[in-house]
Structure 1
């Protein structure tokens, strides 16, 4: 039974490509239940994640092993893709929006074998493909949206990738920033030719003291201010 308002659970279980939104977990790796940090007896699949030093920071709780059975979407380099907020199968799908305050980012990691994604855990190199920060000094681009959209750079080398999305509910206390993470499985088709970088690994890309994770009070407390000075954690965006 859910004990938290549904619109406060920013989980991206649906994938957008070819102008079509998929079913829940059709192309997005499924995640497992987790406990609420402030209510250890409350468990739900849609709880956020906190431990940036754990392998689950790659694609979400349990997602490293949920590749088998997850479909792989064929996407063309240069096209728009996205992640849409969803809910559990026994609840209405609409309307659910990104409720919490914070930025959104997306990364790509190519399967080393490049023959299947089923067994790829995301332990390879990742490069940042997009970042959504401040709309203005008091509002995030993500707030109130049903999801996050990004464009696959045209020069991305073709192949099989995990496409990772994260939304951060940024907070000013140590290790309280919430991560909402998901990974879609995609097959990128295109001319390639690019050399994506810089690359990072998860875990290891972030530190709890990063100013994009441990934020100042004015970035958290309502009314928000100073968002235009926010710097997201991780490497710079590679645009091709």
Structure 2
């Protein structure tokens, strides 16, 4: 390869380092739903995922805006809705991810009718999953972001008792690698939940976006480089408690199945990336040059 081609490729790579990541695939059993492609033209795109502009983050200034809801200024659906049974697992894949000290959160909101024509407003969101610091100290420990960076996958379970209907499911990563400057990465997708469940979350665990987070929340007004973070072994994940499908409370945090997956560089066996997915070698370069 000519040197000019190498430098050109390198320049292209580092120009995209600021584009941090987003969910690009939702998997239910043997069915895979493609996510929105933010760097492609919106014309003609159809996805269960709500449109969003880029892999770039939101910041504290965005906590009081509608952007924090689904990262899209309230844009509605494109006409597609996935299907998942209550009690089933929902697996998500990220196109890329670059930050290890990161919390992973999943929310749901029941649509009053068709999700496609609803913007997700109101105190209707409930948290079904959270994982922040897994082990060690806040400053040097293992976070949920470690497992996502290493595998590019995460799996959550829809509450088995949840009443059937149409829902928005909101996946969010909150990266805290910069002192007092957290980064928020929310994306929403439309799903029809099936089953015979009769449970709905109590009002005590419902929040709105904007409104769920404040700049003064301990997990947001947070300095990972502070003396306290070098000894603290727990991190206060922002937002309400996790609803367990019955009376509320916080679900136990599962341990990651993989922390340093060298084989496949974060991809499941046989999961070959399509043209819309960032190349595998980009993840390698991120690690070699400490860009994570």
Alignment TM-score > 0.5, same fold: yes
Describe the SS at the equivalent of 2:128.
Answer: strand
Counterpart CA distance in 2 for 1:81 and 1:98 is 22
Counterpart CA distance in 2 for 1:105 and 1:61 is 18
Describe the SS at the equivalent of 1:5.
Answer: coil
Following TM superposition, by how much is the alpha carbon of 1:15 offset from its aligned partner in structure 2, in angstroms? 1.3
Describe the SS at the equivalent of 1:30.
Answer: coil
Higher-helix-fraction structure = 2
Does the CA-based 8 Å contact 1:171-1:215 persist in structure 2? no
Match of 2:210 among 194, 198, 203: 203
**Aligned residue in 1 for 2:144:** 141
Following TM superposition, by how much is the alpha carbon of 1:219 offset from its aligned partner in structure 2, in angstroms? 7.5
Alignment gaps of 5+ in structure 1:
33-44, 87-95
For residues 85-164 of structure 1, the aligned pairs below 5 Å read 85-86=94-95, 96-97=96-97, 99-112=99-112, 114=113, 116-124=114-122, 125-137=124-136, 138-143=141-146, 144=149, 145-164=151-170
Out of 49-58 and 144-153, give the one that drifted further: 144-153
Greater relative contact order structure (CA < 8 Å, 6+ sep): 1
For residues 174-185 of structure 1, the aligned pairs below 5 Å read 174=180, 176-185=181-190
**Aligned residue in 2 for 1:170:** 176
Counterpart CA distance in 2 for 1:226 and 1:194 is 40
- The 1:82/1:213 distance shift into structure 2, 3 A limit, reads farther
- The 1:4/1:226 distance shift into structure 2, 3 A limit, reads farther
**Aligned residue in 1 for 2:221:** 214
Describe the SS at the equivalent of 2:21.
Answer: coil
Match of 2:52 among 14, 23, 31: 31
**Aligned residue in 2 for 1:76:** 85
Describe the SS at the equivalent of 2:34.
Answer: coil
**Aligned residue in 2 for 1:4:** 16
Does the CA-based 8 Å contact 2:50-2:72 persist in structure 1? no
Does the CA-based 8 Å contact 1:154-1:191 persist in structure 2? no
Counterpart CA distance in 2 for 1:141 and 1:154 is 24
**Aligned residue in 2 for 1:54:** 65
- Structure with larger Rg: 2
Does the CA-based 8 Å contact 2:69-2:210 persist in structure 1? yes
- The 1:98/1:19 distance shift into structure 2, 3 A limit, reads farther
TM-score, with length taken from structure 1: 0.79
Higher-strand-fraction structure = 1
Following TM superposition, by how much is the alpha carbon of 1:183 offset from its aligned partner in structure 2, in angstroms? 0.4
